[in-house]
Structures are given as C-alpha cells and as structure tokens.
Amino acid sequence: MTPACRQYCIDAIHLSEKLLKLAHDGHSDCDDDRCLVLFGIILDTASKIRMESEKRLKNLEVESGRHV
C-alpha cells in the first residue's frame, strides 16, 4: 500500500464525517422540504463514501500485510 492511497482513504473518511454532521445538523434545524431532500442526499452519499473508504482502507492494509 502506498502512503498516498492510505492517506486519501483517511481523508475521505474525515470528509464523510464532516458531511454526516452537516446533514444531521441541517436536518434538525431546517424545515424547508427542498433543503431536507438535499440533506437526505448528503447523508446518503456521505454514508456511502465512508463505507467504501473504510472498506478500501481495510483492503489496502490486508494487501500490504501480504507483501511484507
């Protein structure tokens, strides 16, 4: 695993956490239906980004362990 790949996965996880917080905060403070749809999209997308980033990071670490 290259250090750059690992760092990009970690950065994507951190970004997804910020997006998840934004979506939760927006959902609890906003009452406009169009904005709520937007926050739902953000929530869904951030969850997918986090899940895929964590999965890829785990795969990279497993592959790295095999090559040592």
Residue-by-residue pLDDT tens, the chain, 68 positions = 578 999 999 999 999 999 999 999 999 999 999 999 999 999 999 999 999 999 999 998 888 876 54
Q: In the structure encoding, which two tokens stand for residue 54, read together?
A: 């964590």
CA angle 21, 24, 25 (to 5 degrees): 80
**pLDDT reported for residue 41:** 97
Structural domain spans, the chain: 3-66
In order of 15, 34, 60, the CA distances from 11 in angstroms are 6, 29, 15
Predicted TM-score of the model (pTM) = 0.84
